[in-house]
Structure 1
Amino acid sequence: MTENAIEIAPDSALIVIDVQKGFDDPSFWGPRNNPAAEENIAALMDAWQESGRPVVLVRHASRRPGSVLAPDQPGHAFKDFVAGRLGKESLLVTKTVNSSFYGTPDLGEWLAGRGIRQLVVTGIQTNMCVETTARMAGNLGYEVLVPLDATHTFDLTGPVGLTLSADQLSAATAVNLQGGDFAQVVTTAAVLAATKPA
């Protein structure tokens, strides 16, 4: 895949979605893809903090009985590499649905108050909360970049036993987002290169 050059705005917000310990439980989720996702998310968080750009951390508080992401479960906590990178300027949003725009505090209001118009969306799961947040952001008029290799997901079974692998679901997300003009799908390397001083 050939990438066009990208520009990262000085106030571009990095949205890190649901990087929680509960997603490390394969007995609950099944097979995952992209083992490099966490390393890429960490590199993006470091680049954002080093450049003084805003970081938004989103955490899912599941209402589903027995969920490993429920607020009273150990899996609700951020993975250690995220918790260790929490900055004083980071915004923490808690949500109970797929879109990060339906959480507390209100993400749209926070972005509008700072005049932020560009979002880089990362996290878990690619085809669930990452895609939903990116689609909604695109509909709301934000410029959205999704470094797909800074996300991951799990195999999923749908209607009449149809199962798609995590890689197939990630590919579908890439096509949905870019083909539908919701977001530009990019790589972590391209984003990092664009955040370096000239």
Structure 2
Amino acid sequence: MAVSAIAAIPALKDTYLQLKARMDKGVQAFQAELASTRTGRASVHMLDGIRVLAYGAETPLNQVAQVTAPDANLILIQPWDPSLLAEVEKALRASDLGFNPQNDGKIVRVPIPPMTEERRKDVVKHLNKELEERKTVIRNIRRDGNEAIKKAAKDKTISGDEEKRALEEIQKLTDDEIKRMDEMSKAKEKEIMQI
């Protein structure tokens, strides 16, 4: 990536780097949300939000067990400590994912039922809501950056031309990040609606 014009202005370099880092973090959070969104196929990421009561503390499932998806309709969970089998099963049943786990004493099997058309549409609706929330986060970061630039111009640490260039650059950065999220969302929506 070419060096940003705003990053070349010493007074604004830190501001730009902070904005870029915050926006990237917001996009990565959306990407993680997409990974855990249920599609028609089994994915170990579907269980990323599951937390298990282990040794008196709520612990992410993937830290207490090996989670695999051997085929499109099944997830296998093998706790490293067999005494946690019941807790894993309990956490899965308590989740709002609608799974019916089966415990055979060594492994918890989670059959992934095919999604109905209505369920697919609900998932897409949730995905679009999440996308709008993430876009708002990115826009709020843009607002913070714009305020910092306007303050720098008011304090006479940058010129009017530098202010204008910096505001345009932040808008471009914002547009690029939102476009990235839109593209990820469209790809995920296509995957969800695929039968």
TM over 0.5, shorter chain: no
Query: Where is the strand percentage greater, Structure 1 or Structure 2?
Result: 1
Query: Where is the helix percentage greater, Structure 1 or Structure 2?
Result: 2
Higher-Rg member (1/2): 2
TM-score, normalising length: structure 2: 0.24
